[in-house]
Amino acid sequence: MDIRQLTYFVKVVEMGSFSRAAAYLHIAQPALSRQVNGLEVELKERLLIRNGRGVTPTEAGERLLGHARSILQLLERTYEDMENARLGRTGSVAIGMPGTLSTAIATALVRKLHSELPDAKVHVLTGRSTQLQEWLLAGRLDMAVLFDAPNSPMLEIHELLDEKLHFYEPEPGSESIRMGPDIPLSELVDQPIIINSRPNRVRETLENALARDGRKLLVECEVDALDTTFALVSDGSGKTVATLRAHRTVNTARGVRARKIVKPELGLKVQIVLRARRLNNQLHDAAFRLLRDLCLEILTP
């Protein structure tokens, strides 16, 4: 198996045809077929189903496609990194963050990076924290803003700030969010909660704290969209738990009251995480500083 074979295989799948892929790659179709057949022989798996309409990947082909794309992307980033080492601040930088943070800072971040690093290609990816950690370790991301990243010798963690969790409940007639009195954690036990599906750091933090007292969270329904969650709370369909910043990122956060959870206070650590073992890269160092400063500017209450 070599890079050329993987490149050819990916292009055939993407174009759904050997003839179209051969024309795009400027090679003869028989030569392209031999390369893909060589992959099938080496892997002892049928990778493509050939029919009158073109080709589609088999289950084994789908698995190889995911690996091949990751390998080719990593190869591209390797060339970019070597070019960056030579020129200083060109190349690409890939930054990941959860959806709630992306809503708050992604637009300002892209503008800042384009302004300060005009020769760099910027990629901002959004996903769950578990996905972001996997992408970071796999080299798909250069850095990520995460909540409560796990301690690991493979990760370099930079603490930014703590965000306290608040309990949100409907308050009819209010045109904006209002602050209410603190609420002890024990009073959340019988409250119908609208919350993200697992895995989710807010939910994990809340459930783990309740479990220490032998209690469980009463989940009314699972909703992953923050604006939908606040809309449901606003119309009296349930209650939720989120950070204070969360309500500022959506347009539906009105007609609700926020109460800080106490006894004990619960919070999330906002962190920038990088791979512990990585090449020196002037572009990534500059992007890290811009990301850190912007997070502190926007996220600090």
Per-residue pLDDT of the chain (301 residues; tens, 9 = 90+): 889 999 999 999 999 999 999 999 999 999 999 999 999 999 999 999 988 778 999 999 999 998 999 898 888 877 766 765 555 556 788 999 988 888 888 899 999 988 888 888 899 999 888 889 889 988 889 999 999 888 888 999 999 999 899 999 988 766 667 888 999 999 998 889 999 888 888 899 999 999 998 898 888 899 988 888 888 888 888 899 998 888 777 665 568 888 999 999 999 999 999 998 877 677 888 899 999 999 998 888 7
First-to-last alpha carbon distance for the chain, in angstroms, is: 53
| Domain architecture of the chain: domains with CATH | 3-75 (1.10.10.10), 88-160+269-299 (3.40.190.10), 163-267 (3.40.190.290)
What are the angstrom distances between the C-alpha of 164 and each of 58, 92, 181, 259, 268?
Answer: 48, 34, 14, 11, 6
**Beta strand 178-179 with 155-170: parallel, antiparallel or unpaired?**
unpaired
Entry pTM:
0.65
Give phi and psi for 5, each to the nearest 5: -60, -45
Helices (H), 151-280: 201-211, 226-234, 244-248
191 vs 169: CA distance, rounded Å: 10
Instruction: State residue 64's pLDDT score.
Output: 93
